[in-house]
Amino acid sequence: MRSMTGFAAEAFEAGGRRWRFEARSVNGRGLELRFRLAEGTEGLEPEFRAAAAKRVSRGSVSVALRPDEAGETGAPALNLAALDAAIAAAKIVEARAAAAGLDLQPASLGEILGLRSVLEAGSSAPDEEAAPAFRAAFDRLLSAMDAARAEEGARLAATLSGQIDRIAALTDAAEAAFAEQEAGAPARLAERVARLQEAGAEPAPERLAQELALLAVKADVREELDRLRGHVEAARALLSAKGPVGRKLDFLTQEFNREANTLCSKAGSAALTAIGLDLKVVIDQLREQAQNVE
């Protein structure tokens, strides 16, 4: 079992620089992949996306790639051609201004270097020969994230197992409460009859038999208990199954809840009602945890 929650990072060298991949995965109804790649590596996104889709079936996954030098984008580069053009243009302007009788201040070094294209920021884009290093690093990143999701999944499975065991125990308790309720049904009916007789009514014996049969049918929760036990076995099988089981487990929690609701509506005793409510609480906790399963 794997969780949809995980984090992984991979630092590596490519194209003479250090880089860092980071991947974060959280819950999602399906598979959602988002990439933020450094300049010059955007062309690798289709490959990265296809590789991730083979390794991850559910979850919202964000992948970022950046240079690993605290945001450094490369050393500035002097564009000599642009510098020569700027100097030539400055001379022409000075000559024309002098001919017009204007006295211009000489341009400073900072002003010349500040002209467009004279001083260019160095590029962090890698060359094409570095692509295999990026692919290998991304594969390691996916393996690390897969391991993190599996580790979280193991902890999640232990929690789910405990909740399923609790549902099984409450189902046994509900059966005992139902047996006690069923055993006391004739006495409760006799008490009602006695109150009717005290009020002057005299119910017919066949009517009493019908009432007793009707009460027994309305309060019978054996089918619900049998289905709850079946769902417990199915849930335990899912916990030990290989591959993504999150959707199946989520559907199973809905079935659990349906049986618990019916049990509460049929309950004919305070004890059985209390057990049904406890079942609903545990099932809701199970549902919340199941939302994290891949």
Q: What is the pLDDT of residues 68-104, one digit of tens each?
A: 865 444 555 566 777 788 788 888 888 887 888 877 7
Q: Mean of the pLDDT values across residues 140-157?
A: 96
Handedness of CA 198, 204, 209, 214 (dihedral sign): negative
CATH of 6-72+129-148, one of 1.20.120, 3.30.420, 3.30.230, 1.10.10: 3.30.230
Can you tell me the distance from the alpha carbon of 74 to that of 40, in angstroms, rounded to the nearest whole number? 13
Contact criterion met (CB below 8 Å) for 31 and 11:
no
Can you tell me the distance from the alpha carbon of 162 to that of 164, in angstroms, rounded to the nearest whole number? 5
Closest CA to 255 of 270, 238, 274: 238
Six-digit token string for 184: 């006391």
User: Which H helix or E strand runs over 182?
Assistant: helix 131-183
Name the one residue in this structure whose structure tokens are 């989520």: 250
Can you tell me the distance from the alpha carbon of 47 to that of 65, in angstroms, rounded to the nearest whole number? 14
**127-135: which pairs have CB atoms within 8 A and are 24 or more residues apart?**
127/15, 129/15, 130/14, 130/15, 131/44, 133/12, 133/13, 133/14, 133/15, 134/14, 134/19, 134/41, 134/44, 134/65, 135/44, 135/47
In this prediction, residue 4 has a pLDDT band, given cuts at 50, 70 and 90, of very high
Residue 173 has pLDDT above 80, yes or no: yes
Q: Give the pLDDT of residue 15.
A: 81
| Residue 25 vs residue 76, higher pLDDT | 25
